Amino acid sequence: MDGMEPVPASRSKTEMTEIVFPNDANPLGNMMGGRVMQWIDIAAAIAAGRHARGPVVTASVDQLDFHNPVRVGGVVVLQATVNYAHRTSMECGVKVWSEDRASGRRRHVASAYLTFVALDPNTGRPTPVPPVLPETPEEKRRCKEAEERRAERIAALKGRD
């Protein structure tokens, strides 16, 4: 893309670990979905910023489903990676886990795909990003699937006209 060298997907890998406090929870003692969404957005923004080597903004979030609750005092682990990059945009995948402190066992809480756009720090306008270089079989699969999702998003947007 614009003659830019591809960047390994591994360069964008981000892992955030948080503890759920009472102000993160609903009256039932479970972590609020909005806080999970906030942390997903932050983890993905860090990954996208690492790939772009500059500022990024959230352009869209795909469907978000919650699979397991997290109680107050629970540990939450978020893992984010840039799966695919187009001209100025990047798809980040984020997986959220709750981690049992005693055993270290993890349960899947949520997953999401977010699209970010890189911005020129001087003009605030979209700026090109390097392509993703997937190196492992999993990274190659995620890159291919992300490219397919991008095509589906574009088709859906055209269908709204």
Tell me the CATH number for domain 7-160. Answer: 3.10.129.10
| Dihedral (Cα; 148, 153, 155, 159), 10-degree rounding | 160
Query: In the numeric block, which tokens belong to residue 74?
Result: 């629970």
φ, ψ (nearest 5 deg) of residue 47: -60, -45
From residue 105, how far is each of 21, 98, 102 by CA, in Å?
A: 20, 8, 8
Secondary structure letter of residue 27 according to DSSP:
T
**Residues 144, 33, 18: CA angle, nearest 5 degrees:** 80
How many Cβ atoms are within 10 Å of 125's Cβ, its own excluded? 10
What would the two tokens of residue 36 be? 């999970």
Question: Is-contact 46 14, C-beta < 8 A?
Answer: yes
In this predicted structure, what is the pLDDT of residue 154?
Answer: 87
Is 159's pLDDT higher than 90? Answer: no
- Supply the pLDDT for residue 2: 55
Q: Which percentage of the chain shows pLDDT scores above 70?
A: 98
Query: Each residue of 104-156: pLDDT tens digit?
Result: 999 999 999 999 999 999 999 999 999 999 999 999 999 999 999 999 988 88
Rounded to the nearest integer, the mean pLDDT of the chain is 95
pTM: 0.93
